[in-house]
Amino acid sequence: MKVLYAQSGGVTSVINASAYGILDEAQKAGLEVYVGIHGISGVLKENLLKINGKSIDGLKYTPSAAFGSCRRKLKSQEDINKLFEIFEKYEIEYFFYNGGNDSMDTAWKLYTEAKKRNTPLKVIGVPKTIDNDLPYTDHCPGYGSAAKYVAIAIMEATLDLRSMYVDSTRVFVMEIMGRHAGWLVAAAGLGWLNGIGADIILFPEVPFNKEKFLDKVDETIRKKGYCSIAVSEGIRYPDGFFVADMGYTDSFGNRQLGGVGFTIAGMIRSELSLKTHVAIPDYLQRSGRHIASRTDIEEAEGVGRQAVKLALDGISGVMVTINRISDNPYKIEYSTIELNKVADKTKYLPEEFHKDFEVTEKYFKYAKPLIEGELFPEFKNGLPNYTIFKEVDG
């Protein structure tokens, strides 16, 4: 029996831990294992890599998509037919797709096609996204580590600002990923658990009110002398338009966003005449493996192993989910949800997790277990020794 695994969408610092869980569990079951290089795009080109016999232990400590990712939706029956020709050629019986909302749509289409063709192919979705916006799961692998990165980054930047504000920069703005849901930008408030975090958080769920925002900045400056701000790339005006719409769409059909940090900083400079500094962590927040959460790493591997167990039990057409049983002690269990209930759906930051420009105690209770613990990579020459598959290049 043969397995095909592929990675899709925006990467995380722990997606390869899921890959490790799937590939290791499948090989332990005696299966022949292939990976698609650059996701479904690579599979369509028959760009497959056989894993059996290769060293995969380092995957657990390596960020980003070790086998290459893609941003491609299945839009034509021609592509679907081509994929099933490849599945038949390589005798693939199990397909695991590791991704977010759009990736689950791809998995759902392949599952429904397999049923229509009455083939034995089993399709399982494996969740990952730093956005934490997949419904029917308490949280998503990738979020805890990205949240930890954001929390630490804003803490350290705010300490820098606090040191220099007297006759230098008064306002620091950090632009955080998150198109529709404010889960990741909310993490900028986690530093308050240890005494310092973002003074103002701008959530995409809350329509941006320029006057109210500037009043809050002015109030914070008068109170403290400085102000640190975390802004989601996806904030919108009350009419629904993005504050930082770049005017075109990506390959998934999403509006391309960018530069909201500079837009916000420009408002502050022009209206309040304050010196500002802007930082955009961008890829760093989703690939910061050096400070990844142990909880996140272990759960990422766990959903991968669970996916293989489900497939071997004959289950198909589902995504693995994480159910929280308790907060203290923190305890979870794995379950499933039908792929079509997740595909192209978004879970927003609940209103009870934020108020005005801050996160609430309920958010602290939710997020704290997800960022706890560390599992550092091996270091060599003073740097992380990450696993790199040469087959991904070229």
Catalytic residues: 131
Is residue 101 part of an annotated ligand binding site? yes
Q: What are residue 324's DSSP bridge partners?
A: 332
Q: Is residue 277 exposed (0-12), middle (13-18) or buried (19+ Cβ within 10 Å)?
A: middle
Q: Are 192 and 158 in contact (CB under 8 A)?
A: no
Is residue 179 part of an annotated ligand binding site? yes
Is residue 233 part of an annotated ligand binding site? yes
The CA-atom distances, in angstroms, between 376 and each of 61, 146, 284, 373, 386 are: 7, 15, 17, 10, 11
For residue 264, which of 135, 172, 186 has the smallest C-alpha distance? 172
> Torsion over CA of 147, 138, 181 and 71, rounded to 10 degrees?
90
Is residue 285 part of an annotated ligand binding site? yes
Rounded to 5 degrees, φ, ψ at 357 are -110, 20
Is residue 295 part of an annotated ligand binding site? no
Angular region, 15: left φ>0, alpha ψ -120 to 50, beta rest: alpha
The CA-atom distances, in angstroms, between 7 and each of 37, 117, 224, 233, 277 are: 8, 25, 46, 24, 36
Is residue 200 part of an annotated ligand binding site? no
Is residue 283 part of an annotated ligand binding site? yes
User: How far apart (Å, rounded) are the C-alpha atoms in residues 114 and 120?
Assistant: 7
Strands 32-36 and 122-127: unpaired
Rounded to 5 degrees, φ, ψ at 174 are -115, 125
Amino acid at 186: A
Angular region, 2: left φ>0, alpha ψ -120 to 50, beta rest: beta
Sheet of 276-279, strand order: 200-202, 227-232, 171-176, 276-279
Q: Is the peptide bond before 329 cis (omega within 30 degrees of 0)?
A: yes
Q: Which residues are annotated as a binding site for diphosphate?
A: 10
Q: Which residues are annotated as a binding site?
A: 10, 101, 129-131, 177-179, 233, 283-286
Q: Which residues are annotated as a binding site for Mg(2+)?
A: 101
Q: Which residues are annotated as a binding site for substrate?
A: 129-131, 177-179, 233, 283-286
